Amino acid sequence: MLEVADSGERGGTVLLDGAVPGTRAGDVGLVLQEPGAGIVSATVGRDVAFGLENIGMPRADMPARVAAALAAVDLTMPQDTPTFALSGGEQQRLALAGALALEPAVLLLDEPTAMLDPVNAESVRRTVDEVTRSRGLTTVVVEHRLGPWLDLVDWLVVLDPTGRVVADGEPASVLALHGESLAAQGIWVPGFPDPQPRGIPAGVFEPSSTGANVLTLDAADVTIRRSVRALDGSTRTTVAVQDQWFQARAGQVHALVGPSGAGKSTLLLALAGLLRRQGGEVRLRPDLAVDGQRDPRELGTIDLARRVAWVPQWASSTIVSHTVLDEVMTTSRAVGLVESEARVRARALLAHLGLAHLEQADPRHLSGGEQRRLAVASAVVHQPALVCADEATVGQDRLTWAAVMGIVEGLRDTGAAIVLTTHDDAVTTRADAVTVIERPVQPPPAPVRRRPLVARAGPLSLLAGASLAIPAGVVSPRWSTSLLVLSVQAVLAVIALWAPGRGPAPTGRLRGVLLRLGPGVLGALSVAWSTWLLGGHEGGTAFTAGLRVLIIVLPSAVLIQHVDADALGDHLGQRLRLPARPVVAVAAALQRVHTFGEIWSEIARARRVRGIGATARSPRSVLAELWALTLGMLVRSLQSAAALAVAMDSRGFATAYRRTWAAPAPWRRADWLVVAASLVPLAVAVLVR
């Protein structure tokens, strides 16, 4: 129902009430298969309000609609919670809230409960049903599993693997006539028993010499906290895992279950040695130790890859190669397996998972379900002793589920320890052990910290202050003047970071500035060296050139940290009267900057556990790793940009020609002070000149 640009060729027409979809803002609501890709704004409340802004809803009417949509999907956190801090299941509910807030004519849902626990999934289905009935809403749900939705839907359309319609009609009639054949095609038809895992070909994996039930991994008192820093300098800390004990044994499949957001994925990362712990210990069995070291967190990248595998929750985030076959072979090559033998095993696993015909395809172009199966094959092809898989069966039909579970149980039978997070009852039923993870009790809210003076100004004055440093650096004539200007800037920076008032002081202010200033210092040294080398070894000229660079970058290191992407869009659109569409597009793009750190970490984790991370601390190895991470983050960002464009257009952005704004854009006294203070270094440079 929503017309978007995508790969392939399209024929025919699509009409919504006689009009082309997308011509009327807000008529179509969409929840994508990977909901994190559709997040538009930096905070929960603003993300839900984004569509309401596009349809021109008055600001006064937005809070009630936003609150109702969040309540409908049971998201109870504060509306200023950063969106990048949400779990996968919480992001899925946020995407649904954003769609429901629009009260669209058509609601399109792509497996909306795939990442949710049964309680939250039922809540979402109930909400969709209530909204559909009360508003006369047309809802289209894409699902592999019919059972939970069967009592809610009025019509059933079944597609075969080629996209051809093979059944079309009332659900009861379709299932009565075609139920058995549909189950045979892979559809989860109610009333049919769960499929049996399909055994892998003999000889793909070799029997392990480790005896069954041997303790492969032992975790005690594992505690992990996550901190999210707000723009005002305050830090919000949550407990993701608290004092968790866990054991995984050879020859067993161990399921981690629990509500969405309980910390299952976080615990799994800690067990695989891919996340820093704030407490507790994790140890592999003695024969997996390296030089006596049993903590997987402390193992080198090759040693870790030999012993531990990780299947990520979102398989698209960890692709490292350009073809499907190379993706599967990556770890085998890194750990030094015989190429010919590993290739035979890789091809056998691809054939088993229905991916053999895609051997030379770009893995980034596979469907979500195909990418997840590819991630399973890539993780286990070298037969590690411990496999940590995050929701490995999500998005699979009966046939591909049987193939994935065949690999899981095949590895188990050879002596591997398998740990799976799952909401899939069919997986839990077959597991040898089950651990229920409860949501940790959260600490009481921290006292409200004092805000730095700079955090009290708006984005336009902060950008103006950073920009005024450019002419100050350019007009500074000699090193003595530049040093004076830089000293004035340093004093102003101290004042800007000062946080007067009551309550605890914000932490990490100076450290943050120094970290952001690091690249600028390197640039200044490079410019000074080049000037000295090419300028006749004149020290004064070289010193002046380096100081000029620092003059230009220091204010940005202090000010830009406090520019809120959403507020910037508000101010550019309301105060400067710039066109809404480019302004919002820029703000949405800047919002993604907040996610770069997590994307970087996620890619680094994938490279480490695949055996291709930095293997030494030599400059060459570190630079190669930095280049690979940067390139991976660029590719990931470009991929997410397409999904972001679809998500924005699905909430009326394509036709938002009369847009309103959920938040005001005031110009305060603090803004005048920032601009006035930023003029001081420029005045010093001009007057001393």
The band of 287, judged by pLDDT with boundaries at 50, 70 and 90, is: very high
- In the predicted model, what is the mean pLDDT of residues 526-552? 86
Give 230's pLDDT tier (boundaries 50, 70, 90). Answer: low
Task: Kindly indicate the confidence band of residue 1, based on its pLDDT and cuts at 50, 70 and 90.
Answer: very low
pLDDT at position 253, please? 96
The answer to whether 150 and 171 have CB atoms below 8 angstroms apart is: yes
Instruction: Check whether 31 has a pLDDT greater than 60.
Output: yes
Stretch among 128-137, 372-381, 465-474 having the lowest mean pLDDT: 128-137
pLDDT above 90 covers what percent of the chain? 43
In the block, which residue shows the tokens 């993701």? 240
Phi then psi for residue 679, to 5 deg, are: -80, -20
- The fraction of the chain above a pLDDT of 70, given in percent, is 95
pLDDT at 90 over 90: no
Residue 115 in this model has a pLDDT that exceeds 80: no
pLDDT of residue 231: 53
Backbone angles phi, psi at 475, to 5 degrees: -85, -10
Residue 175 parent element (H or E): helix 171-185
Instruction: Tell me how far apart the alpha carbons of residues 528 and 550 are, in angstroms, rounded to a whole number.
Output: 11
- Supply the pLDDT for residue 616: 65
Confidence of residue 58 (pLDDT cuts 50, 70, 90): very high
pLDDT tens profile 165-202: 888 899 989 999 988 988 988 888 888 899 999 999 88
Q: Hunting for tokens 């990490």 — which residue is that?
A: 508
At residue 5, the pLDDT reads 40
298-327 mean pLDDT: 90
Q: Is the pLDDT of residue 83 over 90?
A: no
State the pTM of this model. 0.81
Please tell me the predicted confidence (pLDDT) of residue 233: 52
How confident is the model at residue 501, as a pLDDT? 85
Task: Write out pLDDT tens, residues 470-480.
Answer: 999 998 888 89
Residue 4 predicted with pLDDT over 60: no
Tokens 């809540």, located at residue: 123
pLDDT digits (tens, 9 = 90+) for 471-511: 999 988 888 999 999 999 999 999 999 988 888 888 778 88
The CA distance from 291 to 411, in Å, is 27
Tell me whether strands 252-257 and 433-436 are parallel, antiparallel or unpaired: parallel
pLDDT in tens, 618-646: 677 777 777 887 877 777 777 777 777 77
* Per-residue pLDDT, 2: 39
Distance CA 50, CA 58 (A): 12
pLDDT at 554: 94
Question: Cα 388 vs. chain centroid, distance in angstroms?
Answer: 19
pLDDT tens-digit map of 662-684 = 999 999 999 999 999 999 999 99
387 and 417 Cβ atoms separated by less than 8 Å: yes
Average pLDDT over residues 380-392: 94
φ, ψ dihedrals at 482, nearest 5°: -60, -40
The stretch 641-668 carries a mean pLDDT of 82
Round the average pLDDT of the chain to a whole number and report it: 87
Per-residue pLDDT at 689: 66
- The arithmetic mean of pLDDT across residues 71-82, rounded, is 85
Residue 307 confidence class, pLDDT cut points 50, 70, 90: very high
Evaluate if residue 77 carries a pLDDT over 90.
Answer: no
Distance in angstroms (rounded) separating the CA atoms of residues 382 and 306: 8
* Paired tokens of 255: 């399921």
Q: What domains lie within the chain, and their CATH numbers?
A: 28-185 (3.40.50.300), 215-436 (3.40.50.300), 453-688 (no CATH)
Per residue in 371-384, pLDDT (tens digit) is 999 999 999 999 99
pLDDT at 333 over 60: yes
